[in-house]
Amino acid sequence: MKNSAEGCDLSSLTWNLERAAALRNPELFVKRILGYALMPFHARWMQFRLENRETLILAPRGHGKSTILTVAYGLWRVVENPDRRLLVVSATAVQAVAFLREMRTHVERNPIFKRAFGNLIGEKWTEGEIVLKTRRRIAKEATVTALGVGGPIIGRHYDIILLDDVVDEDSARTEHMREKSWSGTEKSSCPASSRAANCTWSERATTRATFTAR
């Protein structure tokens, strides 16, 4: 439907406003664009991350920690600024890739996302790395990279590092395994962070004793 007085497409105008609002507000992005249910504590989690460079959030299983703090929040950060370099690290490469797969699925198949932001599929689009089409920055790092603990990151640097369930039941079982997991996590995150990087950590509350005392 055209507004003859203004000569503009009201539908397009509505989507432009929706897109602009979602880019400014992660809560709107999560609810309206991605379609996830957002609880008040989810909003507090995201705000806490935005206000702090280094964060640790512990939550029981089933509270949407990975969905909100890794998939949704991570996707919002790179859609908002596609020149960012985001690293997702989990206990295994399989799990990290699963988080990235959910992000990719929104970009590829979510009709609301595609209507708001268009086709963002870039030249590199694999299980472990994606580059958004809107990226302007020339960098060896992808827009989003997914790695397991101890994965190869030599010579690469990231603006945002999301550590999600880097401790599982096996790696938390003994002191030796805990030390091994801690060492692997340090190798996956500390050398890869740029000077102004945001490093954020989320874990199941059942594994909190592994690292929280450090």
Name 83's bridge partners.
none
Q: Could you tell me the two tokens for 21? A: 């609002």
**Which residues are 201's β-sheet partners?**
56, 163
Q: Provide the domain limits for residue 179.
A: 7-207
Q: Which amino acid is at 195?
A: R
Number of domains in the chain: 1
Does residue 109 belong to any structural domain of this protein?
yes
pLDDT at 13: 79
pLDDT, tens digit, 9 for 90 and up, residues 39-83? 999 999 999 999 998 898 998 889 999 999 999 999 999 999 999
Kindly state whether residue 213 falls inside one of the protein's structural domains: no
| 170 within a domain of the structure (yes/no) | yes
Q: Give the pLDDT score at 169.
A: 57
Whether 14 is in a domain gets the answer: yes
Mean pLDDT of the chain: 83
Residue 2 placed within a domain: no
Residues of the chain with pLDDT under 70: 1-10, 168-214
CATH label of the domain that carries residue 179: 3.40.50.300
Q: Render 3-62 in DSSP notation, one character per residue.
A: ETTTTEEHHHHHHHHHHHHHHH-HHHIIIIIS-----HHHHHHHHHHHH-SEEEEEE-TT
Element (H, E) at 147: strand 144-148
- On whether the CB atoms of residues 210 and 110 are closer than 8 A, the answer is no
